[in-house]
Structure 1
Amino acid sequence: MTRKERITELDLIRSFAFLAVVYQHVIGVYMRKPGVDEQTAIIYGMLFHLLKFAVPAFIFMTGLVLFYNYYERIHYPSFIRKRVMEILVPYGIWSAVYLALQPKPWRAEGETVWVIFKSIMTGTASYHLWFVVMIFQFYLLYPLWQRVFRAVRDFASNQTRVVISIGFIGLLYGCLVWFSARYIPTHGFRFDVAWLDTYWIKYRDRNAFYYFFYFLMGGLAAVTLAQFRQTVKRQWLWISAGFVLLYGYIGYELFRDSGHGMINLNVATSLKPSMFLYTVAQLLLVYFLALWIGKWKGSKWFALLGKYSYGAYLIHALVLTYLMKGLTALQIFHTSLLGSFVAFLLCSLLSFAISYGLGRLPFGAWLVGAAEKKRKADLGQQKELPHAG
Structure 2
Amino acid sequence: MRKERIEEVTLLRAMAFMAITMQHCIAEYIYRPDIAQPDAVMLGMLFHFTRFGTPTFVFLSGLILLYNYAEKLNYLTYVRKRANDILVPFLTWTVIYWVSVSIISGHSFTAAGTWTALVRQLVEPSYGYHLWFILMIFQFYLLLPLLLRLAKPVHSFIQREPEQAFRRTLMLVAGAAIVYGALTWFSYYRAGASAAAIGGFWEWLMVHRSKWFVFYFFYFLLGAVCAYGLDRFRRVAVSSLLASGLAFILLYIWAGYELLGISTTSMMLGASTYLRPTIFLLIVAQLMAVYGLAVIIDRHGGMMKRFMLFVGRHSFGGFLAHAFVLMLVSGVTRPMQLEGSHLIATLITFLIVAAGSIGIAKLASLLPFGSLLIGAQGRKKKSPGSNGKPPYRQEQTGAPL
Q: What is the TM-score normalised by the length of structure 2?
A: 0.88
Deviation for aligned residue 1:235: 1.5
| Paired position in structure 2 for 1:138 | 140
Note if contact 1:365-1:371 (Cα within 8 Å) is conserved in structure 2. yes
1:325-344 aligned within 5 A:
325-327=331-333, 335-344=341-350
Q: Distance in 2 between matches of 1:355 and 1:175?
A: 39
Q: Distance in 2 between matches of 1:244 and 1:374?
A: 40
One-letter amino acid matched to 1:249: W
SS of 1:376's partner is coil
1:303-342 aligned within 5 A:
303-327=309-333, 335-342=341-348
| Paired position in structure 2 for 1:285 | 289
Deviation for aligned residue 1:124: 2.7
One-letter amino acid matched to 1:86: D
1:1-389 aligned within 5 A:
2-101=1-100, 102=102, 103=105, 109-156=111-158, 157=160, 158-159=164-165, 160-189=167-196, 192-194=199-201, 196-198=202-204, 200-258=205-263, 260=264, 262-294=266-298, 295-298=300-303, 299-327=305-333, 335-373=341-379, 376=382, 380=386, 382=389
Deviations 1:171-205 (A, max 9, x none): 111111111111113454565553x543x312111
Q: Distance in 2 between matches of 1:384 and 1:21?
A: 28
Q: Out of 112-121 and 271-280, give the one that drifted further.
A: 112-121
Note if contact 2:52-2:286 (Cα within 8 Å) is conserved in structure 1. yes
Deviation for aligned residue 1:238: 1.1
Deviations 1:303-347 (A, max 9, x none): 111111111111111111111223456878995211111111011
Q: Distance in 2 between matches of 1:190 and 1:144?
A: 33
Deviations 1:78-133 (A, max 9, x none): 00100111110011011011112223779995545543223212233421111111
Deviations 1:349-369 (A, max 9, x none): 111111110111111111111
Aligned residues: 381
Q: Out of 325-334 and 164-173, give the one that drifted further.
A: 325-334
Note if contact 1:105-1:115 (Cα within 8 Å) is conserved in structure 2. no
Q: Distance in 2 between matches of 1:191 and 1:255?
A: 32
SS of 2:331's partner is helix
SS of 1:370's partner is helix
One-letter amino acid matched to 1:360: L
Note if contact 1:311-1:367 (Cα within 8 Å) is conserved in structure 2. yes
Q: What is the TM-score normalised by the length of structure 1?
A: 0.90
Q: Out of 153-162 and 281-290, give the one that drifted further.
A: 153-162
* Runs of 5+ consecutive residues of structure 1 not aligned to the other structure: none
Note if contact 1:246-1:274 (Cα within 8 Å) is conserved in structure 2. yes
Q: Out of 96-105 and 313-322, give the one that drifted further.
A: 96-105
One-letter amino acid matched to 1:141: L
Change (3 A) 1:78 1:380: farther
Deviation for aligned residue 1:282: 0.4
Deviation for aligned residue 1:376: 3.1
Q: Distance in 1 between matches of 2:195 and 2:214?
A: 20
The higher-RCO structure (CA 8 Å, 6+ apart) is: 2
Q: Distance in 1 between matches of 2:92 and 2:379?
A: 19
Deviations 1:56-85 (A, max 9, x none): 000000100001001122111000100111
Change (3 A) 1:179 1:292: same
One-letter amino acid matched to 2:75: Y
Deviation for aligned residue 1:217: 0.3
Note if contact 1:123-1:131 (Cα within 8 Å) is conserved in structure 2. no
Q: Distance in 2 between matches of 1:76 and 1:16?
A: 30
Q: Distance in 2 between matches of 1:92 and 1:61?
A: 23
Q: Distance in 2 between matches of 1:9 and 1:137?
A: 25
Change (3 A) 1:333 1:227: farther
SS of 2:301's partner is coil
Note if contact 1:62-1:215 (Cα within 8 Å) is conserved in structure 2. yes
Q: Out of 87-96 and 376-385, give the one that drifted further.
A: 376-385
Q: Distance in 1 between matches of 2:110 and 2:69?
A: 46
Q: Distance in 1 between matches of 2:113 and 2:364?
A: 32
Q: Distance in 2 between matches of 1:377 and 1:221?
A: 30
One-letter amino acid matched to 2:327: T
Note if contact 2:39-2:340 (Cα within 8 Å) is conserved in structure 1. no
